[in-house]
Homo-oligomer: A and B are copies of this chain.
Amino acid sequence: MSRDVDDTRTRILNAAWQLLEQGAGKGVRMADVAALAGVSRQAVYLHFPSRAELLIETTRHIDAMHDVAGRLAASRAATGGLARLEAFIDTWSGYIPEVHGVCSALLAMRDTDAAAAAAWHDRMAAVREGCAAAVAALSADGMLRTDIDGDAATDILWTLLSVRNWEHLRQDCGWPQDRYVAAMKDLARRALTTD
């Protein structure tokens, strides 16, 4: 395994991660990352061709550290449409705070950098898959509203659970995390289920 815990590459990724989280993605420069990693600015470019790539690799790194695949698999185990929906919201809501800094930085680069835009798109497409699965489980239980189709329901859930909405409620409205989660479960249920 070439990726030792003390690898320069790993130290850089951890430094980027730390700065991105503590500063919520604002103005993290290559020089800052290098300084925190205890390495020269050029060393960063030796491992990552551009700032965009560094950010993208940082999200992969965080994913690996947090076992995202495992968490999502667990949420799939829930039986029943509503339980499944809530398990998905729990999983995703718990994940957002961990990656929020990198997400912000990536979103900010989306306008200027094609690679960042593509990476963001991929990541969001994966979230949409999760939303679609939750909607399908709801539908299988006969709990999905009948006046909209699955795609529309998926889009709505996808929108409700966006990183921006998390930011808005947590930061602009000052809601605590548990209140955010409860509100999202409530909103999703009201938006998607019959009765």
Closest to A168 in B: B159
Among the stretches A64-72, A77-85, A169-177, the one at the interface with B is A169-177
| Residues of chain B with a CB closer than 8 A to A172's CB | 124
Closest to A23 in B: B111
Compute how far the CA of A104 lies from the CA of B168 in the bound complex, rounded to whole angstroms. Answer: 15
Total count of chain A residues near the partner, CB < 8 A: 25
Q: Are B173 and A168 in contact (CB under 8 A)?
A: no
Chain A binding surface, main DSSP class: helix
Q: Are B191 and A175 in contact (CB under 8 A)?
A: no
**Is A162's CB within 8 Å of the partner chain B?**
yes
1/0 contact string of A7-47 vs chain B (CB within 8 Å): 00000000000000000011100000000000000000000
**Is A165's CB within 8 Å of the partner chain B?**
yes
Compute how far the CA of A101 lies from the CA of B27 in the bound complex, rounded to whole angstroms. Answer: 22
Nearest-neighbour CB distance to chain B for A129, whole angstroms, equals 14
Closest to A192 in B: B190
- Other than the known A158-B168, A159-B168, what 12 A-B pairs have Cβ atoms closer than 8 Å? A26-B111, A108-B108, A108-B111, A124-B172, A155-B175, A159-B165, A159-B173, A162-B165, A162-B168, A164-B165, A164-B168, A190-B190
